[in-house]
A and B are shown apart, each in its own frame.
Chain A
Amino acid sequence: MSALLNNKNGQLKIQQMIFMLLAVTLFFILVGLFFVSYKATNLQKEVASLKKDKADGLVGRISGNPEFTFEGKSNAIDADKLMILQTENKYTFVENGRRKAFWGVEGIIVRKIYPLGEDIECTRDNYPDCNLIKLFTNENSAPSSSFVSWCTKKNFQGVNYDKCELAELMIKESELE
């Protein structure tokens, strides 16, 4: 009789343990599911944020590029150099049989924002009386931007000086390398 009671008691304990294990496993599965769904909803945001970070880094690198920079000043763009580059109408070149984009961008737009004025696109005829330079693009704006100085050499009463104005550098990233 006592052996039967012990057996029943043991069965009850095993049942209790199984229920407990099931409850704990179920709990961890629920926590895991919650975590995965949270991560999944944030994934798209993170991808967009990473793309934005990459593009922002590229904007910074471009403004520091020797082809754009004004006398080694940080965040300063030489407008004269940009006007020379404007003659290039293609933003891609072929290297080792592969198509590549200059500086990894599809378009560069530089807009003077101070002193404020109406948008006048720079051409060889109206430069420097203009405030918008477009390279490899016909669009007026691009998703990634950064503040830069729009600098040129000027002469006033026989004295040469550097004139820097506040501008915004915008780029559209290329899908090519």
Chain B
Amino acid sequence: MRLNKKAQEEMVGFVLIVVIVAIIAVIFLGISLRNSGGDVGDESEKIGSFIDVVSQTTTKCEIPTAHFQDVGDLISKCSQGKLCDGCDGETCGTTKSACEVLKNTLTEAMKSSYVVSEGSYVKYYNLTLYYELDNELLIEPIIMGPQDNCLGDLLFNERPVYSGGEKIKLSLEVCFNN
């Protein structure tokens, strides 16, 4: 009977030690996870500010003539199916729609901002413009690089653009190599 009680006491002691160690391990894990989370948020903010800057970039599209549209305005004009009256001082003709100029501007802006090549810091990016209501795409997504598994940091942000009561979202996803 006495031996049994002693064994029970030893077991309680052992369990107590295991519990203390587990608590310490959880605290340690929590601290390290909190520290590693900071960089992701910061970079996402950078992508957010990049979208803001791209939105206020002046395009070649004139609606009406001599009134150059910025990307934010052009998104709205594209959703309304408008055509450019002129392109950087030249007549556009019927072939240059607001959507065409928008796509060209965004493609070129992305190419010069995030370089994707073998061994580059950026593995791939995906820029999409879609209606928030039904997720319908406004223009073809602008994608560069192979969109398979992102082993580095996959960062994302989006900003809304309003066009005649409709909400269009400009979203950007970038995969950075470590």
Which residue numbers of A lie inside 8 Å of B, CB to CB? 20, 24, 27, 31, 35, 38, 42, 46, 49, 53, 56, 60, 73-76, 113-116, 146-149, 156-159, 161-166
Contact = CB atoms under 8 A, between A and B. Distances in A.
B54 A75 contact: no
Interface SS of chain A: helix, strand, loop or mixed? Answer: mixed
Contacts of A148: 53
Interface SS of chain B: helix, strand, loop or mixed? Answer: helix
13 contacts: A74-B52, A76-B56, A113-B113, A114-B109, A115-B108, A116-B108, A116-B111, A147-B46, A157-B66, A158-B66, A159-B66, A161-B67, A165-B58
A146 B46 contact: yes
B85 to A, nearest CB: 12
Interface residues of B, number: 30
B166 interface: no
B53 A166 contact: yes
A167 B70 CA distance: 15
Contacts of B65: 157
B57 A146 contact: no
Contacts of A147: 46, 49-50, 53, 113
A75 B112 contact: no
A162 B28 contact: no
Most buried by A among B35, B39, B53, B68: B53
A42 B89 contact: no
